Amino acid sequence: MTHAQARKRFGQHFLVDEAVIDQIIRAIAPRPEQMVVEIGPGLSALTGPLMSMLGHLTVIEIDRDLIAGLRRRFPADRLTVVQGDVLGVDFSALGDRLRVVGNLPYNISSPLLFHLRAYAGKVVDQHFMLQREVVDRLVAQPATHDYGRLSVMLQSRYRIRKLFDVSPDAFDPPPRVVSSVVRMVPLSGAYPRPKSEAAFEQVVARAFGQRRKMLRRALGDWTSLIDWNALGAPATSRAEELTAPQFIALSDQLLEAGALQA
């Protein structure tokens, strides 16, 4: 039984299934000296086990009532509470080699994943509980139904693996959807990076804005500047048929041709 009322505006669903909690903690496998940041600790389902294994934990929470409970339960010298909206948090100020974990509010999961993407260079890994539908999009391969803008943008920065599904019964109140736990590990320096993140984001957004069209139509006046052979894709390709590295190469081509600003 929970001791706090879940608030719809914060998208709260409290994880209460001990077996699932244990499974998540085992997947994270935290070590005492590591810098772990938990997003949305809620009623401490993960916070308690994490605190028992870590020297120090940082949590980000927006709900004042839940923060009061956290401060009562855990010593201030071992738990740092960042109060506020996680979408406004500067993760680079929290340290280096961060391990980020959380049962993420479903109503902000995509914006939050994009927000965290900017800090991937500071992160060792991320373990999140998300709506299964979002995780399926994160891990989707080209030329599949779930593959889209979210897939490309996140796969360009992380190696992503779905670990296991979690039924609605594991939460109080139960959500109307199945959840999944995902592991995201930032890609090494050997993986291609766009010459301009802004150009890359613009190209991916425009390409998937009209995903049913062939890219040469969806990209309009940019099309004449594309070297399809160098891209390794036919001119008849649709957005969902290109891999993340191909989108990076495409945005670099358009940047060098002067079609986009860095």
The CATH number of residue 247's host domain is: 1.10.8.100
Contacts of 90 (CB under 8 A, 6+ apart): none
Answer yes or no: is 21 within a domain: yes
- Give all strands of the β-sheet with 79-83 in edge-to-edge order: 79-83, 57-61, 35-39, 98-103, 123-131, 179-186, 158-166
- Indicate if 164 and 207 belong to the same structural domain: no
pLDDT band at 84 (very low <50, low <70, confident <90, very high): very high
CA distance 180 to 174: 14
- pLDDT tens digits along 89-102: 999 999 999 999 99
Domain boundary among the residues 155, 186, 217 is at: 186
Beta strands in the chain (DSSP E): 14-15, 35-39, 57-61, 79-83, 98-103, 123-131, 158-166, 171-172, 179-186
Number of domains in the chain: 2
- Asked whether residue 5 carries a pLDDT value surpassing 80, the answer given is no
Answer yes or no: is 164 within a domain: yes
Amino acid 236: pLDDT: 95
Answer yes or no: is 109 within a domain: yes
Amino acid 262: pLDDT: 81
CA distance 88 to 196: 23
Contacts of 91 (CB under 8 A, 6+ apart): 37, 98, 100, 116, 119, 122, 123
- Indicate if 205 and 178 belong to the same structural domain: no
pLDDT band at 128 (very low <50, low <70, confident <90, very high): very high
Amino acid 55: pLDDT: 97
- Indicate if 159 and 212 belong to the same structural domain: no
Domain boundary among the residues 157, 186, 215 is at: 186
Question: Tokens representing 235?
Answer: 């001119």
Amino acid 105: pLDDT: 82
Answer yes or no: is 191 within a domain: no
Find the mean pLDDT for residues 10-32. 90
Q: What is the CATH number of the domain that holds 92?
A: 3.40.50.150
Amino acid 16: pLDDT: 94
Answer yes or no: is 233 within a domain: yes
What are residue 36's DSSP bridge partners? 57, 99
Give residue 95's domain range: 8-186
Instruction: Tell me which of 115 and 14 has the higher pLDDT.
Output: 115
Answer yes or no: is 1 within a domain: no
- Indicate if 167 and 250 belong to the same structural domain: no
Domain boundary among the residues 186, 207, 233 is at: 186
- pLDDT tens digits along 217-244: 999 999 999 999 999 999 999 999 999 9
How many residues appear in the chain?
262
pLDDT band at 106 (very low <50, low <70, confident <90, very high): confident
- Indicate if 168 and 205 belong to the same structural domain: no
- Transcribe 84-131 into DSSP letters: S-GGG--GGGG-SSEEEEEE--GGGHHHHHHHHHTTGGGEEEEEEEEE
pLDDT band at 174 (very low <50, low <70, confident <90, very high): very high
- Indicate if 171 and 206 belong to the same structural domain: no
- Indicate if 69 and 139 belong to the same structural domain: yes
Amino acid 104: pLDDT: 87
- Indicate if 149 and 106 belong to the same structural domain: yes
- Indicate if 60 and 150 belong to the same structural domain: yes
